[in-house]
């Protein structure tokens, strides 16, 4: 964990931002896989980690903003627990390390909240994404689970987003530690991706890299020769000469910080001419988008710019015709680029998505565009120094989508369907990096991972 002062200062600011009432944070529990004692690896809630740094199950915390008091609720291990799990520091000892002096057994949480409700005090809590914590809120606050979303605290969401959006130096160091693992993952995948190798061998090698470094995956690995499927988690294909494999993968440090990198790998070691042409378009789109990612610039404008570069490149190849900006205005890019340009990244790979994407990526005046493609843009608002974002344009040739648009004669004035038809077996290409927005402009985080055609081919051969 970070020095105790980091957590103390974060909570101090939260108290000042919220101003009155109690703040209730629920930590996560162990989740059973197939029977109660066989559990998924524990993952603490990211906001709990951010404000309390305590990475163990069975905890809750209450901050009384009127009194400036903080208490963590949890039970120490019994001897019966210790027999199976070994000895662990007492809760009090763990809490001292994050600047909390008051702890209490879990069964004291309910009476404390009951007293607050009796006194008509406001109890702020965040949106819940785990069923067991939904049930806890239902029981602790007597709010039926179906209406809990109506009772979450918007001021608390906004206050948490206001802090977590801006990464401190120690957080950047963590993200760069995750990116060191990404370097190993990506370069290993480049070296291993050969004809005859099964995708799951590469996915397994990448997971081995993070586990051996006391990390874990920051999200389930996307590694596939069918990169046209945006989130393809099937790893059962045997790679063949001429295939390209999209490797969208990430690591998480022991403190919970993520990396998220995508490279597209030629299985033969060399891209074909046609693959090079599409790769070069995506590369130019990404480079242009990264250069544009400066403070004050709205990401929805960067997304449009990246889309224009994609459409312009496709026009040069004869897949698109007409005026490029009019084509993007008409949504032509979404036939080939169906998702958003990127998202914030930090303690969650899609940072704070559990708090509500629109609180993180949009504002009261910059609203999400509900149209196909645009609606998947998680981050649209203006960039500020301290934001860490991904920049991940791609070109995806999805046969079913092409067939549908062609049958509907959609955007027929802009799309040369006969030419597009020839790419239905192409797959997809995505290139993604993690960027820190600074006063001086964008900074690509981590050591350089092969990205140009020459660099990727050299590592893959």
CA nearest 315: which of 287, 344, 284? 284
Residues 6+ apart with CB under 8 A from 63: 11, 14, 15, 22, 23, 25, 69, 70
Residues 6+ apart with CB under 8 A from 439: 295, 385
Dihedral sign from CA coordinates of 400, 403, 409, 413: positive
Name the residue nearer to ligand GLY (CB basis): 61 or 395. 395
Q: Please name the residue ranges forming H helices in 54-168.
A: 79-85, 91-96, 109-118, 131-141, 148-151, 154-164
User: What is the spatial distance between Cα 407 and Cα 415, in angstroms, rounded to a whole number?
Assistant: 12
Q: Which residues contact ligand GLY (rule: CB under 6 A)?
A: 219, 248, 260
Cβ proximity of 341 and 305 under 8 Å:
no
Name the residue nearer to ligand GLY (CB basis): 70 or 434. 434
Smallest gap from Cβ 438 to ligand GLY, in A, equals 22
Smallest gap from Cβ 185 to ligand GLY, in A, equals 12
Smallest gap from Cβ 259 to ligand GLY, in A, equals 10
Name the residue nearer to ligand GLY (CB basis): 58 or 354. 354
CA nearest 56: which of 42, 46, 70? 42
Smallest gap from Cβ 355 to ligand GLY, in A, equals 17
Smallest gap from Cβ 366 to ligand GLY, in A, equals 21
Number of other CB atoms surrounding residue 315 within 10 Å? 19
Element (H, E) at 20: none
Name the residue nearer to ligand GLY (CB basis): 180 or 421. 180
Name the residue nearer to ligand GLY (CB basis): 72 or 391. 391
Smallest gap from Cβ 431 to ligand GLY, in A, equals 12
Name the residue nearer to ligand GLY (CB basis): 349 or 420. 349
């Amino acid at each position: 964990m970070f020095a105790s002062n980091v957590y103390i200062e974060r909570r101090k600011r939260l108290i000042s931002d919220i101003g009155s009432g109690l703040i209730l944070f629920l930590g996560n529990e162990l989740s059973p896989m197939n029977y109660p004692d066989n559990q998924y690896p524990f993952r603490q809630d990211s906001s709990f980690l951010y404000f309390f740094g305590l990475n163990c199950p069975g905890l809750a915390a209450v901050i009384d903003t009127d009194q400036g008091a903080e208490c963590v609720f949890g039970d120490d291990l019994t001897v019966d627990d210790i027999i199976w799990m070994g000895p662990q520091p007492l809760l009090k000892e763990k809490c001292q390390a994050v600047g909390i002096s008051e702890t209490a057994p879990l069964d004291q949480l309910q009476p404390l909240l009951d007293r607050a409700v009796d006194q008509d005090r406001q109890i702020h809590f965040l949106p819940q994404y785990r069923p067991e914590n939904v049930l806890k809120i239902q029981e602790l606050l007597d709010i039926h689970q179906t209406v809990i979303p109506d009772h979450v605290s918007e001021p608390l969401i906004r206050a948490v987003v206001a802090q977590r959006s801006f990464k401190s130096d120690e957080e950047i160091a963590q993200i760069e530690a995750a990116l060191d693992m990404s370097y190993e993952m990506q370069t290993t995948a480049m070296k291993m991706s050969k004809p005859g190798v099964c995708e799951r061998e590469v996915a397994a090698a990448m997971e081995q890299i993070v586990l051996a470094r006391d990390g874990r995956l920051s999200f389930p690995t996307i590694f596939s020769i069918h990169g046209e499927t945006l989130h393809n988690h099937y790893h059962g294909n045997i790679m063949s000469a001429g295939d390209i494999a999209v490797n969208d993968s990430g690591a998480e440090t022991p403190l919970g910080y993520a990396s998220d990198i995508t490279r597209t790998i030629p299985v033969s070691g060399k891209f074909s001419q046609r693959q090079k042409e599409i790769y070069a378009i995506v590369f130019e789109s990404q480079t242009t988008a990264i250069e544009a990612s400066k403070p004050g610039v709205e990401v929805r404008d960067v997304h449009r710019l990246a889309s224009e570069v994609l459409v312009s490149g496709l026009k040069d190849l004869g897949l698109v015709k007409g005026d490029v900006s009019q084509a993007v205005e008409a949504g032509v890019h979404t036939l080939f680029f169906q998702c958003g340009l990127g998202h914030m990244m930090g303690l969650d790979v899609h940072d704070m998505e559990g708090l509500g994407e629109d609180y993180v990526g949009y504002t009261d005046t910059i609203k999400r565009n509900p149209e196909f493609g645009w609606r998947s843009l998680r981050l649209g608002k203006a960039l500020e120094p301290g934001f860490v974002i991904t920049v991940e344009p791609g070109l995806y040739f999805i046969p079913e989508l092409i067939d549908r648009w062609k049958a509907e004669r959609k955007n027929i004035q802009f799309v040369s369907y006969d030419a597009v038809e020839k790419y239905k077996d192409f797959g997809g290409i995505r290139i993604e990096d993690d960027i820190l927005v600074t006063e001086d402009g964008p900074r690509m985080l981590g050591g350089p991972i092969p990205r140009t055609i020459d660099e990727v081919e050299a590592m893959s051969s």
